[in-house]
Homo-oligomer: A and B are copies of this chain.
Amino acid sequence: MEGLLTRCRTLSALAACSLRHCRYIIHKCYHRAPGRGQRLVLSRMFQPQNLREDQVLSLEGRASDLTCKSQRLMLQVGLILPASPGCYHLMPYTVRAVEKLVRVIDQEMQAIGGQKINMPSLSPAELWRATSRWDLMGRELLRLRDRHGKEYCLGPTHEEAVTALVASQKKLSYKQLPLLLYQVTRKFRDEPRPRFGLLRGREFYMKDMYTFDSSSEAAQETYGLVCDAYCRLFDRLGLQWMKARADVGSIGGTMSHEFQLPVDIGEDRLVVCPSCHFSANTEILDLSQKICPDCQGPLTETKGIEVGHTFYLSTKYSSIFNALFTNAHGESLLAEMGCYGLGVTRILAAAIEVLSTEDCIRWPRLLAPYQVCVIPPKKGSKETAATEIVEKLYDDIMEAVPQLRGEVLLDDRTHLTIGNRLKDANKLGYPFVIIAGKRALEDPAHFEVWSQNTGEVVFLTKEGVMELLTGVHVV
């Protein structure tokens, strides 16, 4: 039997490598440069911007629904497509950006000792009844019954599940604490008014971390540690952020902070003290409060989008599920907990909201779906001779700058003018656009390089391009 299977496998493997198939594979998705690597070409991308005339038309028909810049831009260029209210299809560029963001989050969470787990979305009602949140969460919970009539909700957050999980691990020792467990999964919330695209959806990706400590002091130290990791994350993304004291809401606990990106369409009203940097969500202050509680200076007001939220929970959940650890004296004690959320798809949309112009998407450089777009001359134009030169540049980049493999697109729609393709590239916000125009025919060739995040345009030789791109960090 085994011999037979091995033979089957070998035959199939041979068939898979037949010349016909190899050729087919290569031609389907890439241009093949003779004797060199493969080129990623724009015309093959399922990027509805290629069809934009029609797309924009149909969007205009429902323009009144488009309530913020990021939603409008993301729909226009086809980064997201509506599936149902508050639910979106993420298209290929967006998936790439989300995956990059998840890698940055993984790095920061693992740098502080976070261990990644994955909990089911189907969350049994009995867990939520134990904390009374089955009733408290009201209509925000999406609920269902299975074929046996058993009740579940689709988890919007997982305090119950993770605490029950840790409680099931008997003999958890103080030596294993602090324990930092996190996941990056889809969450569900039946928003009364889903809107702003990925900013307030009903189905979204969230990073949620839960920490377990041996004492209140240790738990608060861990709380600070996670907050600092959040600060580093937003700094790496190049975003302006604020950390504001906040209400604990339905999660509960005794201390809470929100991480906010300041922006006009933000749904949260915040106060900041310019003197001592006190900052808070107005929901925790007396509405008429105009004086900083820390330094008595005058408070100013701003708006923000909440992109992260941290809670010190103490033993609120561990006492319900009996999540215990054994201390150095062999005694069983309740674990002190914290929980920490980051809205993954929301961070992406919020970043686009604050960085973009009215017409052009701008990404945090690290999250851009592709780092470089290369634009060869229009077919039949007088620069046509530069086509080979810029294709060679593309291949040389692939060879000399390994971290950019898979990150450089060739805009092969050469029936369009350079100007039209540059307009598209500008709209999509590739951090670097390299154009082979007239000066690519000089000796040595000069390429027009747009650094879109700074707005700078320079002419560089091949060596200059290589030097510039070698410094590009890709996550």
Contact = CB atoms under 8 A, between A and B. Distances in A.
Interface of A: 1-2, 4-9, 11-13, 15-16, 21, 24-25, 28-30, 43-46, 48, 50-51, 54-55, 58, 81, 83-84, 87-92, 94-96, 98, 110-113, 115-122, 124, 139, 142-144, 146-147, 150, 152, 154, 161, 165, 168-172, 175-176, 178-179, 181, 185-186, 188, 190, 192, 202-203, 221, 224-225, 228, 231-232, 234-235, 240-243, 262, 272, 274, 277, 279, 300, 302
B232 A13 contact: yes
Contact of A84 (B5, B51, B124): B124
Contacts of A224: 21
Interface centre among A4, A54, A111 (most CB of B within 10 A): A4
A28 B190 CA distance: 38
A13 B117 contact: no
Contacts of A225: 21, 24-25, 28
Nearest to A222: B28
Contacts of A302: 1
A1 B302 CA distance: 9
Given A81-B168, A171-B54, A232-B16, A118 B98 contact: yes
30 contacts: A2-B240, A5-B240, A8-B277, A9-B231, A9-B235, A16-B228, A16-B231, A21-B224, A21-B225, A24-B221, A28-B178, A44-B113, A51-B171, A55-B169, A83-B161, A84-B124, A89-B161, A89-B165, A92-B115, A92-B116, A95-B118, A120-B203, A121-B121, A121-B186, A122-B202, A122-B203, A139-B147, A143-B144, A146-B202, A147-B190
A142 to B, nearest CB: 6
A159 B81 CA distance: 16
Given A51-B172, A83-B124, A90-B117, 4 more contacts: A5-B242, A25-B112, A89-B165, A121-B188
A48 B45 CA distance: 45
A210 B45 CA distance: 15
Contacts of A144: 142-144, 154
List 8 tightest A-B contacts by C-beta distance, closest first.
A29-B113, A144-B144, A16-B228, A90-B118, A87-B120, A28-B113, A92-B115, A139-B147
Contacts of A5: 240-242, 262
B231 A28 contact: no
Contact of A279 (B8, B147, B168): B8
A117 B89 contact: yes
Contact of A277 (B7, B30, B115): B7
Contact of A176 (B46, B175, B277): B46
Nearest to A119: B89
Contact of A45 (B43, B110, B115): B115
A171 B231 CA distance: 45
A46 B116 CA distance: 10
Contacts of A203: 120-122
A46 B175 CA distance: 11
Contacts of A234: 9
A252 to B, nearest CB: 22
Nearest to A212: B46
Given A8-B279, A12-B243, A120 B89 contact: yes
B170 A51 contact: yes
A346 to B, nearest CB: 15
Given A54-B170, A120-B89, A122-B202, A46 B242 contact: no
B169 A29 contact: no
Contacts of A30: 113
A4 B299 CA distance: 13
Contacts of A88: 120
B83 A272 contact: no
Contacts of A13: 231-232, 235
Contacts of A111: 25, 29
